[in-house]
Amino acid sequence: MNFTLTEDQAMIQDMAKKFAQSELAPVADKLDKEGDRALFLTNLKQLAELGFMGLNIDETYGGANAGTIVFSLAVTEIARACASTAVTMSVTNMVAEVIQAIASEEQKSYYLPKLCSGEYAAGGFCLTESTAGSDPSNMKTTAVLEGDEWVLNGAKQYITSAEFAGVFVVWAVTDSSLPKGKGISCFLVEKDAPGLSISKAEHKMGQHASSTNEVLFDNCRVPKNALMGELNQGFKIAVGELAGGRIGIGSLALGVGLAAMDYARTYITEREQFGQPLSNFQGLQWMMADAFTDLEAARLLLMNAADKKAKGLPFSKEASMAKLFASEKANKACYTALQLLGGAGYIKEYPLERYARDVRITSIYEGTSEIQRVIIARELLREIV
């Protein structure tokens, strides 16, 4: 495998890095503490204008057509500055990819340009429910065809960017007589659809600028042609797209972990104890060496999964391995970085406290670490049959 980036890949990565450093890093603390929605939306619009909301979408629909590897690289760079912005970018790209993969030409032509251009600030991925988190096949939301309309009833939980999403990809049971997971279909629901409402944002531990809401469907009516893909075939679509989403969240975790360790690395060269810089002490050097080694291994796992996806090869196991390893090691790296700062790491004046809060969710959303291990083990056992 050639690990050298192409000229285009390196250029887009550099563009993401410069935007993150110039526009996002200076306001990340403000967004975390104050939740300035107008500022957050301005940043999302700028990202869209740079092509980062449709990185793997065909140029015909306004996308960048840059590929999965670039998507991973870009999410990492954005997350190094602001995890809240990175998760919104990652999920919006995932929504766009679902639409590109299974929607009708009419649906693609209508929705993809709006997502890619920033006309829609974000896209919503409505899968999780109170009884259907790690087991999405257990969802209770239903969709019943009445004449020329589908009527949706139910509730989706923990939906990223729901407050400012222009369109939602929604999964619902369309045939309860079929075995669990077999009678689920996928719909495109616009934000102003009658019967759709969005609850107030959850008060989260981290990633404060990114809204997370419950989306409610109370006799929500959408046109018959809102069905996306084949009837009753939605569950396998969800499973496939979650695998791709795990590359995004793993990349986000990597970015936060790198930001934390970069800050700590600089800090220990400047702070002195016992008459010399902290960086002279071997114990701290080894902590730093282990953390950066783990993060580099995470990067390589992510690149491997992204490369397989880009080539159209099976990548579910690789994506789960990358997401598991990256999220767990990024969590560890943030705590290592905080430890390297000592008492200063616990003070909100320094960014380590925010990094530690922001990174914690990465080992939970888009499939917990425990679920990733289940998937990896299942795939490994299939290989010997």
Active-site amino acid positions? 366
Rounded to an integer, what distance in angstroms lies between the CA atom of residue 185 and that of residue 229?
Answer: 8
Take residue 363 and report the two structure tokens written for it: 């080992």
Q: How far is CA 59 from CA 7, 116, 192, in A?
A: 19, 10, 28
Rounded to an integer, what distance in angstroms lies between the CA atom of residue 161 and that of residue 183?
Answer: 27
Residue type, 281: F
Q: What is the dihedral of CA 363, 364, 369, 372, to 10 degrees?
A: -120
With H, G, I as helix, E, B as strand and everything else as coil, classify residue 349. coil
* Distant-in-sequence, close-in-space partners of 104: CB < 8 Å, separation ≥ 6: 225, 228
Question: For strand 196-198 and strand 212-223, is the pairing parallel, antiparallel, or unpaired?
Answer: antiparallel
Q: Taking the CB of residue 194, how many other CB atoms lie within 10 A of it?
A: 10
Element (H, E) at 75: helix 68-81
Residue type, 318: E
Rounded to an integer, what distance in angstroms lies between the CA atom of residue 245 and that of residue 251?
Answer: 10
Phi-psi map region of 371: left, alpha, beta (phi>0 left; psi -120 to 50 alpha): alpha
Take residue 266 and report the two structure tokens written for it: 């600089």
Q: Taking the CB of residue 284, how many other CB atoms lie within 10 A of it?
A: 18
Q: Which residues pair with 162 in a beta bridge?
A: none
Take residue 188 and report the two structure tokens written for it: 């495109």
310-340 burial, b for 16+ CB within 10 Å, e for fewer? beeeebbbbbbbbbbbbbbbbbbbbbbbbeb
Sign of the dihedral through C-alpha 328, 331, 333, 336: negative
* Distant-in-sequence, close-in-space partners of 163: CB < 8 Å, separation ≥ 6: 198, 201, 211, 213
